[in-house]
Amino acid sequence: MKATAEAPANIAFIKYWGNADANLRLPHHNTISMNLSGAKTTTTVEFVSSLDADEVFLGGSKVDGTGAERVSKVLDHIRKISGNKQRARVTTHNSFPTAAGIASSASGFAALAVAAASAAGLSLTEQELSTVARLGSGSATRSIPDGFVEWHAGSSHETSFAESLYAPEYWDIVDIITVVDADQKKVSSTLGHSLADTSLLYPARLASMKEKVESVKRALAEKDFPRFGELIEEESLNLHAIMMTSRPSVLYWSPATVRVLQALREWRQEGLLAYSTMDAGANVHVITRGEDETAVTQRLQALKGVEKTILGKPAAGAHLVK
């Protein structure tokens, strides 16, 4: 009745923002991502007969409120399909800043789904595990399969799942996660999602997504890095335009965020190809080719306001460790 799992965070190249069904966390369109080697969660789940409520400890501190309810939602689903009624003790640790736009919810709920299913004695398929992870966090769906991943939006719990497009070794690109603010963001992603459709720009975004998903998949298939980079940077800016024009407006950027975005443009003029993509947070994910990793990292670390960088190489998905 006890199991431990590890899961990577992932960076979305096509973002998930806004829900078709907020309870099931069903998105409006497919999304594409890459799992990250340098940012992971390790979670142990133990079902204990003497507990009368689930207990969650994140980085040594007890989690209450919404954070604990989200964990119990995943555990309730596992209890429902396994018939096991016991409550669980969940001990989890993130190797990187929590709630800062580096997808701790993705790695957190993917690791939880894998550990809880195993602790309850279930042997679920990868597809099923990705649906279970989604109940805690939409982006967690994508941290289950390996490498480069597509999440199929679907229209029900069973049909909204992720699958691997390519193994981690398929393409030598890296995500240099550029931390300019390691503090917890002031507006959670869950709240941000609920505001998406208050932006006048949101219908235009939704209308463009099908074609954008196809374009990114084509650039991935052709390993066309400049095209890929242009597409993912534009997609991320589109997402942040939605956030900024929501009611109320959500502005995640800090002065150092803008400094990084501008520097990348200058470096591209010089021929050093690196592109930005950002989730809900101030930190910038800088995507570059493996051969340029050292040069780009050195330049990023020299910029004012950059606290540190974390290297994310394409990585395997969630897996059991014990």
Residues that bind ligand ADP (CB under 6 A): 41, 58, 67, 70-71, 92, 94, 98-106, 108, 112, 188-189, 279-281
The contacts of residue 225 (CB under 8 Å, 6+ apart) are: 173, 273, 289
User: Which is nearer to ligand ADP, 68 or 272 (by Cβ)?
Assistant: 68
Instruction: Quote the CA–CA distance of 37 and 143 in Å, as a whole number.
Output: 11
User: Which is nearer to ligand ADP, 99 or 300 (by Cβ)?
Assistant: 99
Quick one: tokens of 204?
């235009």
Q: Which residue number is nearest to ligand ADP in terms of Cβ?
A: 108
User: Which is nearer to ligand ADP, 147 or 281 (by Cβ)?
Assistant: 281
Q: How far is the CB of 43 from ligand ADP (least distance, A)?
A: 6
Q: How far is the CB of 18 from ligand ADP (least distance, A)?
A: 14
User: Which is nearer to ligand ADP, 101 or 299 (by Cβ)?
Assistant: 101
Tell me how crowded residue 58 is: count the other CB atoms within 10 A of its CB.
20
User: Which is nearer to ligand ADP, 41 or 164 (by Cβ)?
Assistant: 41
Q: How far is the CB of 38 from ligand ADP (least distance, A)?
A: 14
Q: What are the CB-based long-range contacts (under 8 Å, 24+) for 59-67?
A: 59/92, 59/93, 59/94, 59/98, 66/190
Q: How far is the CB of 40 from ligand ADP (least distance, A)?
A: 10
User: Which is nearer to ligand ADP, 108 or 299 (by Cβ)?
Assistant: 108
Instruction: Quote the CA–CA distance of 188 and 71 in Å, as a whole number.
Output: 16
Q: How far is the CB of 106 from ligand ADP (least distance, A)?
A: 6
Q: How far is the CB of 107 from ligand ADP (least distance, A)?
A: 7
Q: Is residue 216 within 8 Å of residue 14, measured between CB atoms?
A: yes
